[in-house]
Amino acid sequence: MILRMVVGLVLTVVACRGRSEGAADRRHRAAEAAEVVGAWRGPRGDVLGLHRVAVLGPAESCTGDPARRLGNEFVFQMLAQQNVQTLGGNYEVIHHTQLLARLVEEGKLTPVIPIEEKITYHDPCFLGRHNKIYTPPRAIIDAVPGTQAEEMHRCKGKGFCCGAGGARMWLEERAGKRINEERIDEALALDPDTVSTACP
């Protein structure tokens, strides 16, 4: 998730899953290092036209969404309030694919290295079916030279869950085929070189 502050600060948010895994700390450190060395700087010294990029690092906590989806509204409210107090400010909340697609469309970000691959894209449930955001991730894939996109039969508004969202990643399935196995079988049936997604 990206929070874009009105004054031009772009704040990247790793959120729940990322904060609960060791890889999140590595991503935070990498983002901070990119900011320090100016890896995101554009030709005018800005950050691809977005002025400033920041991460919360250790101050960031889970959004509480998994707790809410498991039925613990109290924990959700507590974490949500904590995040509001930590962040403060006035933000436009956008997904990272919306930001990247916007930068590509405005000519501020141009993929130049060809990737000669067949790619199938998995729509994340919350980005896709819940928020109806289907175009930006596909626009990014289409902007990369050499890519050939092929859709799975269950996509966009009829997309199928990967089995990890909404706190399902912490649950065991007891009946039938596991959701994650069903979804990966659908993707692999297309014989892609890459399976892509935009999960937060």
Sorted by where each begins, the domain ranges of the chain are 2-94, 118-197
pLDDT at residue number 146: 95
pLDDT at residue number 81: 85
pLDDT in tens, 87-105: 776 777 788 889 889 888 9
- pLDDT exceeding 90 applies to what percent of the chain? 28
Residue 20 pLDDT class (50, 70, 90 cuts): low
Contacts of 113 (CB under 8 A, 6+ apart): 144, 145
Q: Is the pLDDT of residue 50 over 60?
A: no
Which pTM does this prediction carry?
0.73
DSSP per residue over 93-133, as a string? EE-HHHHHHHHHHTTS----S----EEEEEPPTIIIIIT--
pLDDT at residue number 46: 54
pLDDT at residue number 193: 97
Q: Is the pLDDT of residue 29 over 60?
A: no
pLDDT at residue number 30: 52
Mean pLDDT across 59-81: 83
Residue 126 pLDDT class (50, 70, 90 cuts): confident
Residue 151 pLDDT class (50, 70, 90 cuts): very high
**Token duo for residue 77:** 């409210």
Mean pLDDT across 143-170: 85
Please choose, from the candidates 71, 92, 67, the residue with its C-alpha nearest in 3D space to the C-alpha of residue 81: 67
Of the two residues 139 and 171, the one the predictor is more confident about is: 139
How many alpha carbons lie under 13 Å from residue 25 in its C-beta half-sphere?
4
pLDDT at residue number 149: 95
pLDDT at residue number 26: 52
